[in-house]
């Protein structure tokens, strides 16, 4: 039963990439809204630190951790088994695990590094979302995936990351239709959040491209978009407050998603907040 002020009371949520950054903030947001949360990430030490932080904040007994690689089918299955043994059946997934991958012009990139990015960012998304959907399909649930740079626009010098994140958006839209009505699926773009991934941009220097290097440098200096912005969007979308919202691509800093429950018919019956192909007539051109 949902208690007042706790929109995730009684819910059990798996958060991947949960040891730091947006994943950890998403876990914190879910816990503060009453959920029980399992954090999944590859780094055992970072997971232990995250668990300690959250327990010190008063969430002891509501948080668990499990080490795993989202690109490994066995690890993903083990993570969901751990969650069920620890807390019970899964109600929601927030999938924040990702890497930037190789940086530079595509002709200069190593194929193994490029494909590893796809393995983690896209194939890992498939594995985690599939496992969550299998848990939820008969009883209902909500899945939140994370997009990023390159999903809606070209992202030169980050081709592996851009392609993986654009694919995640279309994957969201596709499985939202497949899993309806019991499982609702949305994708969040969190904005330029300063995480350890941006250290790779600064280290890459000119390989990152002058424009994005300068943008990242300036964002680091200003603090960028707080990780809490995307995390609060994820916590909202994994809650029953977002019931009826599915298959949407949410830019967390800009889209006013908390008002969306008042516009469910428009969200359902139009292509707003989705990827789409631009035709000449969309730009007032009459030649096609």
Q: For this structure, is 254 an active site residue?
A: no
Torsion of CA 123, 24, 161, 234, to 10 degrees: 80
Instruction: Using DSSP, state whether 59 is helix, strand or coil.
Output: helix
The residue behind tokens 């491209």 is 209
Angle at 57 between CA 29 and CA 60, to 5 degrees: 90
Instruction: Using DSSP, state whether 132 is helix, strand or coil.
Output: helix
- What are the structure tokens assigned to 51, written together? 């668990």
Q: Label residue 117 exposed, middle or buried (CB < 10 Å: 0-12, 13-18, 19+).
A: buried
Which residues, 6 or more positions from 284, have their beta carbon under 8 angstroms from its beta carbon? none
- What are the structure tokens assigned to 159, written together? 């081709």
SS3 content of the chain, % helix, strand, coil (to 5): 50, 15, 35
Q: Please measure the distance between the N-terminal and C-terminal CA atoms of the chain and give it in whole angstroms.
A: 55
Beta bridge partners of 234: none
- What are the structure tokens assigned to 266, written together? 């428009």
Instruction: Say how far apart CA 89 and CA 115 lie, in whole Å.
Output: 33
Given 100, 161, 254, 257, the catalytic residue: 161
Beta bridge partners of 94: 15, 144
Instruction: Say how far apart CA 59 and CA 28 lie, in whole Å.
Output: 9
The set of catalytic residues is: 161
């Amino acid at each position: 039963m949902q208690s007042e002020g706790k929109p995730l009371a009684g819910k059990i949520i798996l958060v991947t990439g949960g040891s730091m950054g947006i994943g950890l903030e998403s876990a914190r947001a879910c816990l503060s809204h009453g959920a029980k949360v399992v954090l999944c990430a590859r780094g055992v030490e970072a997971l232990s630190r995250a668990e300690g932080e959250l327990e010190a904040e008063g969430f002891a007994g509501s948080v668990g951790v499990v080490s795993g690689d989202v690109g490994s089918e066995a690890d993903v299955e083990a993570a969901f088994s751990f969650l069920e043994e620890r807390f019970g059946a899964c109600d929601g997934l927030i999938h924040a695990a990702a890497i930037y991958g190789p940086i530079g012009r595509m002709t200069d990139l190593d194929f193994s590094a490029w494909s590893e990015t796809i393995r983690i960012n896209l194939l890992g998304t498939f594995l985690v979302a599939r496992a969550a959907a299998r848990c939820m399909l008969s009883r209902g649930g909500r899945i939140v995936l994370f997009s990023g740079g390159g999903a809606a626009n070209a992202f030169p010098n980050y081709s592996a990351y851009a392609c993986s994140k654009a694919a995640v958006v279309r994957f969201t839209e596709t499985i939202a239709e497949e899993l309806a009505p019991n499982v609702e699926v949305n994708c969040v773009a969190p904005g330029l959040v300063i995480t350890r991934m941006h250290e790779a941009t600064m280290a890459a220097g000119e390989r990152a491209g002058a424009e994005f290097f300068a943008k990242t440098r300036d964002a680091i200096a200003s603090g960028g978009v707080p990780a809490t912005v995307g995390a609060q969007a994820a916590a909202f979308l994994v809650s029953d407050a977002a019931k009826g919202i599915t298959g949407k691509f949410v830019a967390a800093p800009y889209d006013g998603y908390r008002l969306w429950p008042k516009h469910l018919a428009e969200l359902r019956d139009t292509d707003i907040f989705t990827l789409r192909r631009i035709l000449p007539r969309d730009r007032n051109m009459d030649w096609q």
